[in-house]
Amino acid sequence: MTDIVVVGSLNVDVVVPLHELPAPGQTVLGAADHRRAGGGKGANQAVAAARLGRRVAMVGAVGIDADGDWLLGLIAAEGVATEAVLRAPRPTGQAIVLVTADGDSTIAVSSGANMWLAAEHLGPLRDLLGSARAVLLQQEVDAAVVAEAVRLAEGLVVLNPAPARPVDPATLARVDVLVPNRGELAALAGAPPTDAGADALAAMARSLGTRGPVVVTLGGDGALVVTTDRQWLIPAERVDAVDATGAGDTFCAALADALLDGAAIDEAARWASRAAAVTVTRPGAMEAAPRRVEVPTSA
């Protein structure tokens, strides 16, 4: 049985190191040579889960091109099953990642094949999705794909609603664990971007109508776990950050990993926080995800 099926994006990342991120209209020179890396939130989360020892299958699409060949080979080498990744008559997705030495980043994505993937492509994958212990999703594919995957899933459903966009209430109602950041939570709740405290964030989380907890990632401030009657603030691990690009993806994969082991939601969030903390100490996203032995077992 597959532990985790990831339904989401696969991109080739072009990473450009900078001394500082450019302001609007500004051109800045790179701090070092650019490099190519595997990416896309779906592929990142799939590799992160595989590195934690999970049996993982990827559902998505890449182009009929050299980038697609390279990307499929890359994630297959990490142990991710790629039979359910379709080849699309559109280019493989690309992401331009601008990152500074202190870990700040800005990302622009050309979705390509990721947005070619349609809900009807999931019909032949019904057995794969229905038999998985968990289905892990993001929002770099079409909203109808997310909704259909949630409908077909019979195990744990974990939705990382990134990038921010509306989610149909019927889909939210079938989500077991929602993992937004602060901005994504506000967008889902129909509120403006906010620096609100834990109580206000918890109220927004409870207003969404998910059938399970909401785990709000707060970057350097940690994570807020919200259930119907409780909330916990999970402190961030203190590390020397190099690149925060892949932190959220590692967090989501590790959260699902711990929940499949039977951890309570607050303990799962602590495990996810420790795994994400390892990720930010390394450059890159996919390649920065830790293996299980590299994640501290306790804070």
Q: Would you say 266 is a known binding-site residue?
A: no
Q: Would you say 183 is a known binding-site residue?
A: no
Q: What are phi and psi of 157, to 5 degrees?
A: -110, 120
For residue 62, what is the enclosing H or E element? strand 56-63
CA separation, residue 253 to residues 22, 40, 41, 51, 109 (Å): 31, 14, 11, 10, 21
Q: Would you say 190 is a known binding-site residue?
A: no
* DSSP line for 90-117: SPPEEEEEEEETTB-EEEEEE-GGGGT-
Q: Would you say 38 is a known binding-site residue?
A: no
Catalytic choice (3, 67, 176, 249): 249
Q: Would you say 222 is a known binding-site residue?
A: yes
Residues 93, 65: Cα–Cα separation, whole Å: 11
Q: Would you say 181 is a known binding-site residue?
A: yes
Measure CA 166 to chain center: 17
Residues 29, 16: Cα–Cα separation, whole Å: 9
Residue 125: closest CA among 148, 144, 141: 148
Please say if 249 is a catalytic residue: yes
Q: Would you say 227 is a known binding-site residue?
A: no
1 class by beta-carbon count within 10 Å (0-12 exposed, 13-18 middle, 19+ buried): exposed
Q: Would you say 11 is a known binding-site residue?
A: yes
Q: Would you say 282 is a known binding-site residue?
A: yes
Q: Would you say 12 is a known binding-site residue?
A: yes
Q: Would you say 195 is a known binding-site residue?
A: no
Q: Would you say 148 is a known binding-site residue?
A: no
For residue 227, what is the enclosing H or E element? none
Contacts of 280 (CB under 8 A, 6+ apart): 103, 239, 241, 242, 243, 244, 246, 247, 288
Q: Would you say 220 is a known binding-site residue?
A: yes
**Helix pair angle (247-260, 41-51), 10° resolution:** 50
Q: Would you say 114 is a known binding-site residue?
A: no
Q: Would you say 249 is a known binding-site residue?
A: yes
- Tokens linked to 260: 């499949």
Catalytic residues: 249
Residues at the binding site are 11-13, 40-44, 140, 181, 217-222, 243, 245, 248-249, 279, 282, 284
Residues at the binding site for K(+) are 243, 245, 279, 282, 284
Residues at the binding site for substrate are 11-13, 40-44, 140, 249
